[in-house]
């Protein structure tokens, strides 16, 4: 397989550290995985330096999933949480101005999607998606409700653990990342066929957010912390998909 040239200023992705694209126990990987060897193309200046996002593209409630879909005076149902952390480069430095997009199921484990087949009810005041821009230190924060687990048609009785999806753009397309975050102490993490595609327990633990009750808001919300690394040997895992350059 041909490796992509390393964009100027960015470490090479450690492809061998990430899950194999083809993992038959995760059935949809069979049709999603490449059938032929990848072909690498040199990156252009635009791919190495863009895109650039500004705070003016973020609405006032984009990072508050509790109310950003709700009717006036209403809120989403479920255990309220705050997720915060930092977006880091391969050297451990904060990445300022990175765009984070996040989406999830509601507290009952159901997505607001036209092809959703789970019988759990929709929450009329929960859309399940939002976005934010990192601050000057790479910090981010959003408020939401803790998503529920849900069944999926992979095996006879396979369930996904509670999780939140993340899509990140750093300083360039070379720092593109799509991943998922799980919750501290959830026993279903270790029963998930998707998680099982990752060989390293240390790597799986890097996808688990830490509960930090010292930062919890009394009578309001618990706080989970979750840092993300965009490239290099410490890069956050893609979970069975070789996204990015």
In this structure, the number of other CB atoms found within 10 A of the CB of residue 190 comes to 11
Check 10, 26, 140, 150 and give the catalytic one: 150
Active site residue 165: yes
- Note whether 141 and 58 are within 8 A (CB): no
- Here the tokens at position 211 are 């509960």
Active site residue 91: no
Catalytic residue among 111, 140, 182, 224: 111
Given a contact cutoff of 8 angstroms between Cβ atoms, the answer to whether 199 and 140 are in contact is no
26 flagged as catalytic: no
Tokens linked to 6 = 């390393």
What's 241's DSSP letter?
-
Q: Tell me how crowded residue 213 is: count the other CB atoms within 10 A of its CB.
A: 7
Partners of 210 in beta bridges: 225
Q: Count Cβ atoms below 10 Å from residue 34 Cβ, excluding itself.
A: 10
Catalytic residue among 163, 171, 224, 231: 163
Cβ count within 10 A of residue 82? 21
Catalytic-residue membership of 241 = no
> Would you call 55 exposed, middle or buried from its count of C-beta atoms within 10 A (0-12, 13-18, 19+)?
exposed
Is residue 224 among the annotated active site residues?
no
- d(CA 164, CA 183) in angstroms, rounded, equals 9
Query: Which one is catalytic: 84, 112, 165, 234?
Result: 165
- Options 160, 171, 182, 224, the catalytic residue: 160
Task: Classify 200 as helix, strand or coil.
Answer: coil
The catalytic site residues sit at 111, 150, 160, 163, 165
């Amino acid at each position: 397989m041909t490796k992509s040239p390393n964009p100027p200023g960015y470490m090479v992705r450690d492809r061998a550290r990430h899950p194999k694209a083809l993992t038959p126990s995760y059935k949809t990987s069979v049709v999603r995985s490449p059938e032929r060897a990848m072909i690498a193309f040199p990156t252009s200046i635009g791919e190495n330096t863009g895109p650039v996002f500004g705070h003016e593209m973020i609405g006032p409630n984009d990072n508050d999933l509790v109310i950003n879909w709700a009717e006036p005076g209403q809120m989403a149902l479920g255990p309220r949480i705050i997720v915060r952390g930092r977006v880091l480069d391969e050297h451990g430095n904060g990445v300022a101005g990175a765009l984070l997009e996040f989406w999830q199921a509601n507290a009952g484990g159901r997505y607001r999607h036209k092809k959703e087949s789970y019988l759990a009810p929709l929450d009329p005041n929960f859309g399940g998606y939002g976005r934010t821009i990192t601050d000057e230190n790479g910090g981010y924060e959003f408020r939401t409700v803790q998503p529920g687990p849900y069944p999926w048609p992979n095996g006879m009785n396979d369930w996904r653990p509670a999780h939140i999806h993340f899509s990140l753009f750093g300083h360039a397309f070379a720092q593109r990342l799509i991943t998922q975050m799980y919750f501290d102490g959830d026993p279903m993490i270790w029963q998930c066929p998707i998680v099982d595609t990752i060989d390293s327990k240390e790597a799986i633990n890097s996808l688990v957010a830490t509960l930090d009750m010292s930062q919890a808001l009394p009578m309001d919300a618990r706080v989970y912390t979750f840092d993300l690394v965009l490239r290099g040997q410490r890069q956050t895992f893609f979970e069975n998909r070789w996204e990015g350059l």
